[in-house]
Structure formats: structure tokens, C-alpha cells
Amino acid sequence: ARRQRQMCIRDSRKADIMEYTKLANGMQMPMLGYGVFQIDDETTERCVSDALAAGYRLIDTAQAYMNERGVGAAIAKSGVARDELFVVSKIWVSNYRYEDAKRSIDESLERLGLEYLDLMLLHQCYYDVYGAWRALEEAYAAGKVRAIGVSNFDPVRLLDLCTFAKVAPALNQVETHVFWQQKPAHANMVKLGVQHMAWGPFAEGANDFFHNPLLTELGAAHGKGVGQVALRYLIDSGVVVIPKSTKPERMAENIDVFDFELTPADHAAIDALDTNASVCYDHTDLTVVGGLLGFIKSSM
Ligand code: NAP
């Protein structure tokens, strides 16, 4: 099924190869992009410039990252045609009331210097999700965003929104990596026609990810690195990935995953690394989530 939905396209202007998926509304989306979490605005401009030069065309930012201006500045200077890019941002929870969400979409576009976003997500599943979703549906109808989706929605919250929304979310971005493969959540997304996108595809380095013995062994067998094996595994599983690195040589390494194949035995071995639990930010942990929501409320 994955092979049917994903296309492998060679860009004749570059040596790079990219695979694509199709969202429920027919939009084509790269299977691999570049994320800019925890990079300040100024450094973001340099990083996104480097990423675009390395061949990345999907860029993932968010209002909460406070670096949409840096992303926009890099895009403006890059000379890359707008229709070659796939720009993603996310509405932060403090903007979730309908009017606030509506205004914040225009503010994101202004900071990015863009006339439209390719994809805008609700960053979290809390507070006035339906008010914010209505604002996104309207922005979608107005052509300000070409697709709309969510992030950090567990299967029940996703089913709820898919059931009652006028426009169903096209995508759900959740923590996904070899240690938390999100198989049940993925099956739910496939059933609902929602594209699965991974955040933290390297588990943000947790569990000594970059020295994992199995991934190291498989990498050696394929002439690849640990991160490349993990990204290939996720892409093979139908999951869009957005690895982050501030270093140009790692950016180049992380996008170089389209010239090798993992075997079914490789897949089975990596399947066994799944601990079925978060290693980054657990959205089901009441203490963790309570702290975040308290912080957001006090900042509103
Ligand atoms: P990640 O991509 O799993 O890991 C990033 C870490 O890996 C950085 O410390 C980076 O260090 C290191 N790294 C990258 N490539 C490497 C390589 N080839 N070899 C060794 N180390 C390498 O974590 P992430 O940034 O949290 O996740 C990726 C993106 O997902 C984010 O940037 C953001 O766009 C998105 N995200 C979304 C949410 C959400 O709630 N929706 C949450 C978190 C992240 P260097 O920079 O030093 O290379």
C-alpha cells in the first residue's frame, strides 16, 4: 500500500532523489523535510539556507519556535521557486480561540513573507481545539493554507476531530522514532486517511540513539549511518520525517536516504526496538501536561 501511495521522483535539475506522499486532498508532499525546533531566529535563517542548498524542500516551523521570520528570510534569499517548497507551521495553544487563531494565521504568513502555507497544524490537542480548527477551515477555504492538520493528537482525539470537522485533518505530526513506533496510532491514521508525520525521528538523541548497536550494525551492512537507517525505516513505514540538524554535513547525511533499501529482516529487527513509550515529551503524563498548560494559561 505504501508503494502505491508513495512516488519516487528524480529531480532532473539536481542529483537528489525524493519520495513523495499524497495527502487526502491530492496535494503532493515530500516524505523527508527539515525541522527547526529549538533554533533561534537568526541561526534559523542560516540553517534553512543550508538545508535548501542541501536539497530539502519541506520546512517545518511553528509559531512557538519563534523563528518563522528566519525561515521566511532564508526562503526569500534562496531563489527556490515557491511551488517547489512545502512550508509547514503550527498554531500555538494560546492562540486557539477562534478570533486569535484567525489573526495568528495572518501573522504567521506575514512573518514568513508568504502568501500561503502548504500546511498549517494545530500544535497541541488542548484548549479550544474546535475554535482554532474553524479558523483553519476558513483559511483553507480562502487559500491561505493549502492543507490543514494537527499535531500531538492521540487516536481518540484524532477520531473525534475527523468525525465532527467540516474538513478532516490531512496529517497528524506525533513523536515517532524507532523506540516509539506508534503502530496503533499509525493504523488509526491510515484508517482515517490521515498522513502520519514523525517529530523527533532521532528520538532527539535519547537512549543513546546515535550509538544504538542494531542500527549501527545495519548501517554498516548498507554503507549508511545510524540516523539514515532510522529515517529509511520510518519512510518505508509510510511516515513523513523532519530530522533537525544545525550542521550542514549532517543535513546532507540526513537527506541521503533514497539510494538504499532495508530488507524485511532489517525491518523485523528494528520493529523489535519499539518500547511503545515516549522518550521525549509524554502527552499522556498528567504532571508534564499540567505543567505546560499552567505555563500557557499564565502567559495568556
Ligand atoms: P531530532 O530530529 O530527533 O534530533 C535532533 C538532534 O539530533 C539534534 O541534537 C541534532 O544535533 C542531532 N543530529 C541530527 N542529525 C544528526 C546526525 N546525522 N548525527 C548525529 N546527530 C545528529 O529532534 P527534533 O528536532 O526535536 O525533531 C525534529 C523536528 O520535529 C523539529 O525540529 C521540529 O520541526 C519537529 N518537532 C515537533 C514537535 C511537535 O510537538 N509537533 C516536537 C518536537 C519536534 P545537531 O543540531 O548538533 O546536529
Whether residue 65 lies in the annotated active site:
yes
pLDDT at 159: 98
Ligand 1 atom index nearest CA of 201:
3
Ligand 1 atom index nearest CA of 203:
3
Say what angle helices 129-141 and 98-112 make with each other, to 10 degrees.
50
148, 170 in Cβ contact below 8 A? Answer: yes
pLDDT at 15: 42
pLDDT at 300: 87
pLDDT at 239: 98
Q: Rounded CA gap, 158 and 168, in Å?
A: 9
Choose the catalytic residue: 20, 34, 56, 65: 65
C-alpha cell at 258: 533514497
In sign, the C-alpha dihedral spanning 225, 181, 149, 289 is: negative
Protein residue with least CA distance to atom 48, ligand 1:
245
Which parts of the chain sit beneath pLDDT 70?
A: 1-16
Cα 201 to ligand 1 centre (Å): 7
C-alpha cell at 95: 492562540
Ligand 1 atom index nearest CA of 198:
30
Protein residue with least CA distance to atom 36, ligand 1:
199
| Residue of 244, 251, 278, 280 to mutate, ligand 1, most atoms within 8 A of C-beta | 244
DSSP summary character for residue 29: E
CA proximity to 60, closest of 97, 108, 22: 108
pLDDT at 3: 46
pLDDT at 8: 54
Tens-place pLDDT, residues 161-202: 999 999 999 999 999 999 999 999 999 999 999 999 999 999
| Ligand 1 binding residues, C-beta < 6 A | 35-37, 60, 123, 151-152, 173, 199-205, 210, 227, 242-247, 250, 253-254
pLDDT at 283: 87
CA proximity to 199, closest of 156, 239, 146, 258: 239
pLDDT at 129: 98
Ligand 1 atom index nearest CA of 281:
42
| pTM of the entire predicted model | 0.96
